[in-house]
Amino acid sequence: MSEAAVAANSPAEGMDGLVDDWSADKQAYHVPWGKAMMWLFLVSDTFIFSCFLVGYLNVRMTTTEPWPVQSEIFALSFGGAPIPLILIAIMTFVLITSSGTMAMAVNYGYRRDKTKTFWLICATALFGAMFVGMQVFEWSKLIGDEGVRPWGNPFGAAQFGSIFFMVTGFHGLHVTCGVIYLMWVALRVKRGYYDDKGFEIVEIAGLYWHFVDLVWVFIFAFFYLL
């Protein structure tokens, strides 16, 4: 074998070698390395959100002050008549719809249809950005109009503000990171980066996005409906 061939087949050294090794299509328990690592991250994140929600229920059940009525705090007025939870319902619809576009992106990714995969990922990211924008509006309304603060609120139990901003903010951070991640994947799909490597990265991104959507379902049920 020639020296050039040996050099081409030799593993890279230093940081490049570390990146190549960890990003290679290796198997762990018959699951590709990248997918296994994403599942490990999602399981650990599940424990964090579970602790937040269990803590919320504990605070909700043990507080001696009245808990704010969500249908009143999270109502928006149209034509003078307040509609309870209308903004939250729209946010939920947008996020659930984004799961559909992400599932379609994964499907077309495995079909190696770059154009449709790219645009569906972009649509998913757009829905995610819309969700974050509506959450910013919700926070500004609570802080500016309703006077809710992390250390108290005029509607009852002081703990409401702190746990609400903590949990919804942590989820909003996940959505924001997801939007950035999806746009990065979409850009690489468009440039043909995965043509030879395969489109499994689209499924990995989809796992993260579906997890974010599923967590919101629990937050919606715990915070806005109970």
Is 5 inside any structural domain?
A: no
Q: Is residue 197 part of a domain?
A: yes
* pLDDT computed for residue 135 by the predictor: 94
**Poorest-confidence range of 105-119, 144-158, 175-189?**
144-158
pLDDT interval class at 22 (50, 70, 90): low
Is 144 inside any structural domain? yes
* pLDDT > 70? residue 103: yes
Distance from C-alpha of 122 to C-alpha of 128, rounded to nearest angstrom: 10
Residues 6+ apart with CB under 8 A from 108: 116, 117, 120
Q: How far apart are CA 223 and CA 202, in angstroms?
A: 31
Classify 146 as helix, strand or coil. coil
pLDDT band at 181 (very low <50, low <70, confident <90, very high): very high
Asked if residue 1 is part of any domain, the answer here is no
Q: How far apart are CA 76 and CA 213, in angstroms?
A: 23
In-domain check, residue 4: no
Number of domains in the chain: 1
Any domain includes 203: yes
* Cβ neighbours around 209 below 10 Å, total: 29
Q: Has residue 2 been placed in a domain? A: no
CA 219: distance to chain centroid? 13
Asked whether the predicted pLDDT for residue 60 surpasses 60, the reply is: yes
Which of 8-22, 52-66, 107-121, 125-139 is the least confident region? 8-22
Predicted pLDDT at 16: 67
Q: Is residue 212 part of a domain?
A: yes
Instruction: Name the helix (H) or strand (E) containing 81.
Output: strand 81-84
Global pTM value: 0.83
Query: What range does the domain containing 198 cover?
Result: 10-225
Report percent pLDDT > 90 for the chain.
Answer: 47
Query: Is the CB of residue 203 less than 8 Å from the CB of residue 31?
Result: no
- The identity of residue 23, as a single letter, is S
The model's pLDDT over 197-210, given as tens digits with 9 standing for 90+, comes to: 778 899 999 999 99
**CATH number of the domain enclosing 62:** 1.20.120.80
